């Protein structure tokens, strides 16, 4: 235990917002308290269990130690020089898409790979189904079918009309989930639809880039009615997963894992090797060529690192 001058026993808490050295934690009594961090070695993210003491002069909490994390959602920084941890101790990664802005399916794959490697449950949420009459509807529904055929849980919803929100709440109930996806797909709007007094400001899509004007800038954890929690995160353009070895990439793809051991070579990377059942499956169309492209890109990126 870190030496403290407050001379009080440390209490337990849960980090619900983190902005650098400051943020908000929830005490075990359900009270929300601003905190600050002392000491350079302590870093916290949403979902961290912490021990804290009250700074009697400022009334704020001072975090002293961070509990072990059972998993983390992280990504490579832009120059790939460090790993940015976004949240910890998650049960479910919820990848949100929408007809507007146009879906980047490679990004969807990258999140799903990350969730698979974290051994985390996944949920694909297609928001804005009230806009189902867009020109791209048929192509989008084909892409979504790829995931449904892979047995990824899927819910179509509209934060605007409320359609599907009850079902989504039932899927999320009792677990700690994190909403991820492109900017403007409606992650914060979904929090507003699910959590009665969340009141997050969301903005009109700016026509220039079809991204939210009132964009979310920091992750924040909300309490779901009926139990469980949900983290809202800032939207992204790109997401580089944390993968230790290029040979681990295949574990992120259930359709590739399912064919394990059937190629001629046991250590087949499904690239130039002869008698590769994965490549055969891509050629015959039983594995999506686009998903296989994501696989190859991730293997190449991970080998380069
Ligand atoms: N038509 C329609 N518009 C929606 C729906 N959900 C959200 N929007 C709109 O989409 C825009 C972006 O919503 P946000 O909730 O801010 O999106 P976000 O994913 O949180 O965006 P970032 O915080 O930038 O990552 C807003 O103008 C919302 O009103 C929906 O179900 N239908
Ligand atoms: Mg947002
Ligand atoms: Zn192979």
Domains and CATH numbers, the chain: 11-66 (2.40.50.140), 72-232 (3.40.50.300), 246-304 (1.10.40.50)
Assess whether pLDDT exceeds 70 at residue 282: yes
Q: What is the pLDDT of residue 4?
A: 47
Assess whether pLDDT exceeds 50 at residue 274: yes
pTM: 0.93
For ligand 3, the distance from its centroid to the CA atom of residue 163, given in whole angstroms, is: 42
Average pLDDT score, the chain: 91
Half-sphere exposure of 198 (CA within 13 A, CB side): 23
Percent of the chain topping pLDDT 70: 94
Which is the closest atom of ligand 1 to the Cα of 159?
31
The C-alpha atoms of residue 89 and residue 42 are separated, in whole angstroms, by 17
Of the bound ligands, which one is closest to the alpha carbon of residue 185? Answer: 1
User: For the purposes of burial, counting CB atoms within 10 Å of the CB of 73, is it exposed (0-12), middle (13-18) or buried (19 or more)?
Assistant: buried
Mean pLDDT lowest among 1-15, 95-109, 127-141, 248-262 = 1-15
Mutate to test the pocket of ligand 1, among 137, 159, 161 (most ligand atoms within 8 A of CB): 159
Residue 203 banded pLDDT, cuts 50, 70, 90: low
On whether the CB atoms of residues 241 and 75 are closer than 8 A, the answer is yes
Query: Is the minimum distance from the CB of 128 to ligand 1 under 6 angstroms?
Result: yes
Mean pLDDT of 243-258: 95
Assess whether pLDDT exceeds 80 at residue 165: yes
Using DSSP, state whether 293 is helix, strand or coil: helix
Assess whether pLDDT exceeds 80 at residue 101: yes
Assess whether pLDDT exceeds 70 at residue 209: no
Q: What is the pLDDT of residue 210?
A: 53
Q: What is the pLDDT of residue 290?
A: 96
């Amino acid at each position: 235990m870190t030496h403290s001058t407050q001379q009080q026993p440390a209490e337990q808490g849960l980090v619900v917002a983190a902005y650098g050295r400051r943020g908000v934690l929830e005490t075990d009594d359900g009270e929300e308290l601003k905190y600050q961090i002392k000491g350079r070695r302590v870093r916290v993210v949403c979902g961290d269990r912490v021990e804290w003491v009250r700074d009697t002069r400022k009334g704020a909490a001072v975090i002293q130690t961070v509990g072990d994390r059972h998993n983390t959602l992280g990504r490579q920084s832009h120059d790939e020089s460090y790993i940015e941890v976004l949240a910890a101790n998650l049960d479910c990664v919820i990848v949100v898409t929408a007809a507007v802005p146009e879906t980047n399916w490679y990004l969807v794959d990258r999140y799903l790979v990350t969730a698979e490697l974290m051994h985390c449950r996944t949920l694909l949420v297609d928001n804005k189904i009230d806009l189902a009459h867009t020109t791209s509807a048929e192509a989008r529904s084909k892409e979504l079918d790829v995931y449904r055929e892979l047995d990824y849980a899927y819910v179509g919803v509209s934060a605007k009309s409320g359609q599907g929100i009850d079902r989504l709440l039932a899927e999320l109930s009792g677990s700690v989930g994190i909403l991820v996806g492109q900017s403007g797909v409606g992650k914060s709007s979904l929090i507003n639809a699910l959590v009665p007094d969340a009141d997050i400001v969301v903005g009109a899509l700016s026509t220039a880039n079809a991204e939210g004007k009132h964009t979310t800038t920091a992750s924040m954890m909300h309490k779901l009615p009926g139990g469980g929690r949900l983290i809202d995160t800032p939207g992204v353009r790109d997401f580089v997963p944390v993968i230790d070895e290029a040979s681990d990439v295949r574990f992120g793809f259930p359709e590739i894992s399912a064919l394990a051991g059937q190629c001629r070579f046991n250590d087949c990377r499904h690239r130039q090797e002869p008698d590769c059942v994965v490549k055969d499956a891509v050629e015959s169309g039983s594995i999506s060529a686009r998903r296989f492209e994501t696989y190859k890109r991730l293997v190449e990126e991970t080998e380069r690192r």
